[in-house]
Amino acid sequence: MSGADIINSGKAVIGIEFGSTRIKAVLIDDTHTPLAAGVHDWQNELLDGVWTYSLDNVKSGLQDCFADLMKDVENKYDVKLESAAAMGISAMMHGYLAFDSNDEQLVPFRTWRNTMTEEAAERLTDAFDFNIPQRWSVAHLYQAVLNKEPHINRLAFMTTLAGYVHYLLTAEKVIGAGDASGIFPIDPKTCDYDKAMMSRFDTLTAGTELKKSLSELLPKIVQAGECAGTLTEAGAKLLDPTGTFKAGVPFCPPEGDAQTGMAATNSITPKTGNVSAGTSIFSMIVLEDKLKSVHREIDIVTTPCGAPVAMVHCNSCTSDLDAWFGMFGGFLKEAGVDMTKGKLYDMLYSLAAEGTPDCDGIISYNYYAGEPVTGVRDGRPLLMRSPESELNIRNLARSLVYSCVAALKAGMDILTEEEHVKLERIYAHGGFFKTPVPSQNFLAAALGADVTLMQTAGEGGAWGIALLAAYMANKNSGESLENYLGSRVFADMKGSTVSPKQEDIDGLNAYMKKYISGLSAVRASVSE
């Protein structure tokens, strides 16, 4: 069946992901191959000290992205996109979207990027004996309670960005297990919110202005493979104001970008994992056993099916690299050389590959936001070097690329060296790997493991949520997600694998010694 026939028959599947800098929609066929795509670029804003996106921009971005998808379909296949077999929504995990009983937003969306919940995160971690990071939704909620914010007594519902967009389109206040695991801890036995911890939270908030129990505030968890609602008439009108795309399409549970990355890289079984690297960088390692200790640097979240995953999440990755590379491009333009962004990046990455393995003592801290993994409370990009360091473009470029994986390595070393977690198969995806050399090589050195880029690495989370929607629509009775991905999606998928080079390992380890020792200066630069 041709692509046009699949689209006309309504058998294609749509995935939409709200990333930190881009909203992307992907349409796939019955072999899970992308047929068309749509994009909308956007950026967060710092509003009164809070990293946020306005809900108006969420809605307009969704419409623009979907219109771009529909245009791509019509241009490629000369047909109109009117329906689909299934759809799914994914977005950045965590954060705080709070609403009253009339669905009115109570405070601006507080995204994962904010480091404003230190007190709440510490108290909840102690109360639960379970690591609660600052960016988790429950940490934002409890911090608002501790701060006695006036909106708390009106709070009726809270959710994530994916859960919110799903609600707009389906009128269902639900969430997938993976995205839910960034709201509140999940009990792996029930694949639901941990009831004992919920009871402890309600005890902590007793006597405060929070009028509802936690179970009344959180979205309901829907399991992977189950239908989580259908596109309503109002949802269809929001998605496509022209009226071309029709209501009635079934939706899979909304998921977080970490889980769609796992689906997109087929890393949902123990000892497998993936690294997603773009504006932020995080690793997801599926665990065989429970960790021996609670580590503030390591989050315990889940796969889309609720299996425990060790997550090392770092708030900053490519933003500082982009700023430096943009400056170099601006300098070249002033000198009369107008180079495309792609060519500029390829050139600078190539120069980074030629730099001294330890960057000759040039150390870069890419902290556009606070970094809990390394104990830095607020964003403070810094560059350090010793007087004898050779400051040249190759060493500087290598240091800038190293900085994208340095905080991740600091957290992963705890997982592999203290908890002795084994890594067998690591997949990588995200904008950081658009130029795979040397970014893929440096990540392999940081993890001490082979790193594979799949052919579909560039499709990212939008393709991943499309796979989860396809699983819901096409699975056989009793067929697990693991079997579906392994046999139907990735059986013949090829990838490019690199092994860590000893020279890079030694160089990065030497770099990290100076990086760790210099953190005290970074912390001192952050004002109280």
Report helix, strand or coil for 302: strand
* Maximal CA-CA distance, the chain: 67
Contacts 24+ apart (CB under 8 A), 97-104: 97/158, 97/159, 97/160, 97/161, 97/163, 97/164, 98/141, 98/144, 98/151, 98/155, 98/157, 98/158, 99/155, 99/156, 99/157, 99/158, 99/159, 100/154, 100/155, 100/156, 101/154, 101/156, 101/157, 103/157
**Domains of the chain by residue range:** 3-256, 265-455+514-528
Instruction: List the beta bridge partners of residue 496.
Output: 453
Check if the beta carbon of residue 16 is closer than 8 Å to that of residue 66. Answer: yes
What pLDDT does 1 receive? 79
Report helix, strand or coil for 337: coil
Q: What is the token pair recorded at 303?
A: 């796969």
Burial class (CB in 10 A: 0-12, 13-18, 19+), 254: buried
Count the neighbouring beta carbons within 10 Å of the beta carbon of residue 72: 18
User: Can 3-256 and 265-455+514-528 be said to share one CATH topology?
Assistant: yes
What pLDDT does 79 receive? 97
What pLDDT does 429 receive? 83
Check if the beta carbon of residue 3 is closer than 8 Å to that of residue 81. Answer: no
What pLDDT does 459 receive? 64
Instruction: Give the residue among 140, 98, 94, 137 at the shortest CA–CA distance from 116.
Output: 140
Per the document, the length of the chain is: 528
Architecture of domain 3-256 in CATH?
A: 2-Layer Sandwich (3.30)
Digit-by-digit pLDDT tens for the chain (528 residues) are 799 999 999 999 999 999 999 999 999 999 999 999 999 999 999 999 999 999 999 999 999 999 999 999 999 999 999 999 999 999 999 999 999 999 999 999 999 989 899 999 999 999 999 999 999 999 999 999 999 999 999 999 999 999 999 999 999 999 999 999 999 999 989 999 999 999 999 999 999 999 999 999 999 999 999 999 999 999 999 999 999 999 999 999 999 998 998 998 888 988 889 898 988 999 999 998 889 999 999 999 999 999 999 999 999 999 999 999 999 999 999 999 999 999 999 999 999 999 999 999 999 999 998 998 999 989 999 999 999 999 999 999 999 999 999 999 999 999 999 999 988 889 988 889 888 889 999 999 999 999 998 766 556 789 999 999 999 999 999 999 999 999 999 988 888 999 999 999 999 999 999 999 999 999 999 865
- Average pLDDT over the chain, rounded to whole? 95
Residue 216 amino acid letter? E
User: The pTM is what?
Assistant: 0.84
What pLDDT does 456 receive? 64
What pLDDT does 458 receive? 59
In this structure, whether the domain defined by 265-455+514-528 belongs to CATH 3.90.1720.10 is answered with no
What pLDDT does 528 receive? 56
Check if the beta carbon of residue 399 is closer than 8 Å to that of residue 504. Answer: no
Check if the beta carbon of residue 65 is closer than 8 Å to that of residue 42. Answer: no
What pLDDT does 405 receive? 98
